[in-house]
Structure 1
């Protein structure tokens, strides 16, 4: 409750919490259905859609890193945030007004990935608005829970909406409304430079120095380890529909229910997580969490046909919470005084995780089946967790 009260009393943290709720609405409205819209509605070929995903990944990482570094160099975080949210809004407008392959490429390949940098920027602002170490995990958990809750609510909404035969392209309406809401919120409530209650020290680094800071050995190795750990989340989202599809007892509705239950458990766990970090350091809690999460990944192909599989949603929710919330504060402490760059590390972490998921999937399906994929993915994640735990026992 102290974290709730801190967020409620601080206007900047309150704005960040509302913005993340809207980001959750936007993400749940657009990302789960982009492949269906691209291939079945717009008519993009599967190879071309794969190239679109590569373009989106490169754009997202580049925009996140550049916005973080420039923000640390010069400030102007409000302007950078407006550019990001405006890009998402423009992407939604293009798909609503001129649905076509070109609009799809511009929207999903460039504009939405640029807009995704707002996630790291919001947490950079949270670090500036609440610089104290004590209680920060609780605050990050509370504001991050808003995104998860909104994501779950929108998934449920669209499940019923599609059952009522609403066109799948209607997701761009809710996406546009969410993007408009975030843009308006940033324009009206994001603190302007020179008018904040805190004093921010500019990094004074040029681009070469800033990138060298990211590539420093003690930073890079932790980025790779956290990428290995969080690859377990990407692996889960990759294999669950395939595993359930192979089971006679399961279908698409079961996939939606399972994913929804996992997301639902994450919300209270995000709020309760700070109680663990009071007595254990973050790398230890992350290691414990990913171990639980790996149990649920291994259980997917083994228990898919059993009613016991539904009990694994709680295991996944508890374990996955550590990977959602703790890396944010971890990077902020690792790159002390560089809140923008620390936020951009989340995008780089996702890139590492996506590459490892692709490798695990390719290798696993070549030598075995989905159980093999899950085993390889679990081995990668546990190796990352062990490595992070061991390396954090020594000074950076």
Structure 2
């Protein structure tokens, strides 16, 4: 509660909290249903949708890394955040006005991935506001809980909405409203350069030097391992709507309820996590979290028709908390005094996890089906967690 009190007292942290509330509503509207819309409504094949995921990853990582480095070089973080939110708004309007394959590729493959750089920029700002490591973990966990809270609220809304026979394409309306809110919030409330209480020290690195820093073997190895861990989360978002759609007893409202319950369990877990971080290494928590998370991924295609599927939401919430909260502070420690670049590492991680997830999806669907995809994703996550424990074995 002290972390939440600090968030609401500090204007910049309050801005981040509100922005993450809107971002959670945006993500909850779009991502649980993108595979269903792309394959079932727009008519993309499963391999073609996998290529859209790869395109999205390449776009996201390119935008996030370039904008993150640029932010560390020159500042202009408010302009970068505005660019991201406007990209989201334009992409969603395309899907509303001209639904089709081209709009879907532009929206989900290019514009929304550019917009995803906002997440790293928000936590770069949080790092500048809270440089003290003792307060950083509780504050960042409190901020991240805002995103899970709104994620839950929006999915509860869509649970009732789909039960009332609202068309699934209406998700672009709620996502568009959230994006418009982000544009307004960032335009009026983001701190302007040179007018802050904290120092935003410039990196002094050109692009070549910044890329060389990112490409250091010790950083790249950890990036690959964290990407393997996160691939399970990517596959969860891809599989959940497809598995429930294929079920004889589930529908779109069950997708919203399931994903919403997972997000709901994440909120208290996020607020409790800083107590563990002060006692247990981040690498250990990430490895344990990935192992727990795989249990729900494996169970989803097996238990989808049974009441036991709802028990898996608690398992997913506990395991997923480490996966969504700890990487940002892990990268901030690796990339000291480079908050923008550390935030961009999340996009690089997502590139790795998206490529691995897309490969697991394509191979799994070719070899068997949704169960095989879940098994491949679980193997990747467990290997990534074990590898991270090994490379960080001498770190305290």
| TM-score normalised by L of structure 2 | 0.91
- Whole-Å Cα distance in 2 between the matches of residues 22 and 261 of structure 1? 18
Whole-Å separation in 1 of the counterparts to 2:301 and 2:93: 41
CA distance in 1, matches of 2:207, 2:194: 24
SS in 2 for 1:336: coil
Higher mean Cα deviation, 321-330 or 238-247?
A: 238-247
Distance of 1:374 and 1:48 partners within structure 2: 20
Aligned to 1:273, what secondary structure does the other structure show? helix
- SS, match of residue 173 in structure 2: helix
2: CA distance, partners of 1:163 / 1:245 = 14
In structure 2, relative to structure 1, the CA distance for the partners of 1:391 and 1:244 (3 Å cut) is: same
Counterpart-to-counterpart distance in 1, 2:368 and 2:168: 35
Question: 1:125: how far off?
Answer: 0.5
2:173 counterpart residue number:
173
Distance 1:236 1:171, change over 3 A: closer
Mapped contact 2:54–2:358 kept (Cα < 8 A): no
Deviation by residue 1:174-198 (Cα, 9 ceiling, x = unmatched): 2222112111111111111111111
User: What does 1:57-72 correspond to in 2, within 5 Å?
Assistant: 57-72=57-72
How do 1:69-108 residues align onto structure 2 when only pairs under 5 Å count?
69-99=69-99, 102-108=102-108
String of CA shifts for 1:223-278, please: whole Å, max 9, x gaps.
00101111121233344455556666655554443322212111111111111111
The 2-side partners of 1:287 and 1:167 are apart by 39
- Work out the CA distance in 1 between the residues paired with 2:320 and 2:75: 33
1:281-329 per-residue CA deviation (whole Å, 9 max, x = no partner) reads: 1111111211211233333355445543332221211111000100011
Distance apart, 1:126 and its partner CA: 0.5
* Contact kept in structure 1, 2:161 and 2:253, CA below 8 Å: no
Aligned length: 396
Q: Residue 143 of structure 1: CA displacement?
A: 1.0
- Which residue of the partner structure matches residue 184 of structure 2? 184
Residues in 2 aligned to 1:301 and 1:40: alpha-carbon distance in whole angstroms: 18
Taking the aligned partners of 1:151 and 1:292, their CA distance within structure 2 comes to 21
Task: Give, in whole Å, the separation in 2 of the partners of 1:277 and 1:54.
Answer: 33
Residues 60-103 of structure 1 show CA distances to partners (whole Å, capped at 9, x for unaligned) of 11111111010011111111111111222222334444556554
Query: Unaligned stretches of 5+ in structure 1?
Result: none
Alignment partners' CA distance in 2, 1:279 and 1:236: 29
TM-score norm. by structure 1 comes to: 0.91
Report the 3-state secondary structure (helix = DSSP H, G, I; strand = E; otherwise coil) of the residue aligned with 1:135: helix
Instruction: For residues 341-369 of structure 1, give each alpha carbon's deviation from its aligned partner in whole angstroms, at most 9, with x where no partner exists.
Output: 11111111111112222333344445555
Residue 87 of structure 2 contacts residue 114 of structure 2 at CA under 8 Å; is this kept in 1?
A: yes
1:25-64 matched pairs, under 5 angstroms: 25-38=25-38, 49-64=49-64
Contact 2:231 2:357 in 1 (8 A): yes
The alignment yields a C-alpha RMSD, in angstroms, of 2.6
Corresponding residue of 2:264 = 264
Which residue of structure 2 aligns with residue 231 of structure 1? 231
> In 1, distance between residues paired with 2:333 and 2:364?
36
2:317 aligned partner: 317
SS of equivalent residue, structure 1 residue 202: coil
State the shift of 1:332 in Å. 0.6
Name 1:221's counterpart in structure 2: 221
